[in-house]
């Protein structure tokens, strides 16, 4: 599994989704012109792997939330496993998934409003 993710990271590190035809385009944006919550994530991944946080934010600020959630989850699970602790992972709380869903839906709506300051959430070209 780690090898698979390493290969994906290497692919995104070496190829720029903005310049490569290898990466798929968002079907929702291609057919409707509406940005989905994930639009810009491939370019954000490329920029993140090159440690360019300014570009990550300009492509998809929600990507950073996903990275923070992943780091939190791996940290808590790692501490629990390696140190024998029993830290409660709030990601397992029943209301967490609903909160994250609400955040994604609100982000989806406001990033498609074509007026300042909301248009800043649209992925940069």
E strands along 3-83, which residues?
A: none
> What was the pLDDT predicted at 86?
94
Give the mean pLDDT of the chain.
Answer: 95
Q: For residue 125, name the pLDDT band (cuts at 50, 70, 90).
A: confident
Q: Quote the percentage of the chain above a pLDDT of 90.
A: 94
Whether residue 31 is predicted with pLDDT greater than 90 in this model: the reply is: yes
Average pLDDT of 15-39?
A: 93
pLDDT, residue 1, reads 79
Compute the average pLDDT of residues 99-122: 96
Copy the structure tokens of residue 88: 């409660």
How confident is the model over 50-59, as a mean pLDDT?
A: 96
Under a CB-based contact definition with an 8 Å cutoff, are residues 59 and 40 in contact? Answer: yes
71: Cα within 13 Å, side-chain hemisphere: 6
Rounded-to-10 torsion of CA 91, 72, 117, 29: -70
- The angle at the Cα of 85, spanning 83 to 89, to the nearest 5 degrees, equals 120
pLDDT single digits (tens) 81-102? 999 999 999 999 999 999 999 9
Whole-model pTM: value is 0.90
Could you tell me the residue ranges of all domains in the chain? Answer: 26-121
């Amino acid at each position: 599994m780690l090898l698979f993710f390493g290969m994906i990271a290497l692919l995104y590190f070496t190829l720029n989704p903005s310049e490569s035809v290898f990466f798929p385009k968002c079907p929702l944006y291609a057919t409707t012109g509406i940005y989905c919550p994930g639009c810009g994530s491939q370019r954000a991944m490329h920029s993140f792997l090159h440690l360019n946080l300014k570009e990550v934010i300009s492509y998809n600020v929600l990507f950073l939330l996903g990275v923070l959630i992943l780091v939190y989850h791996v940290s808590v699970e790692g501490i629990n496993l390696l140190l024998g602790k029993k830290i409660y992972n709030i990601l397992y709380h029943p209301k967490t998934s609903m909160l994250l869903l609400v955040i994604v839906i609100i982000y989806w709506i406001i990033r498609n409003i074509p007026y300042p300051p909301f248009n800043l959430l649209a992925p940069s070209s």
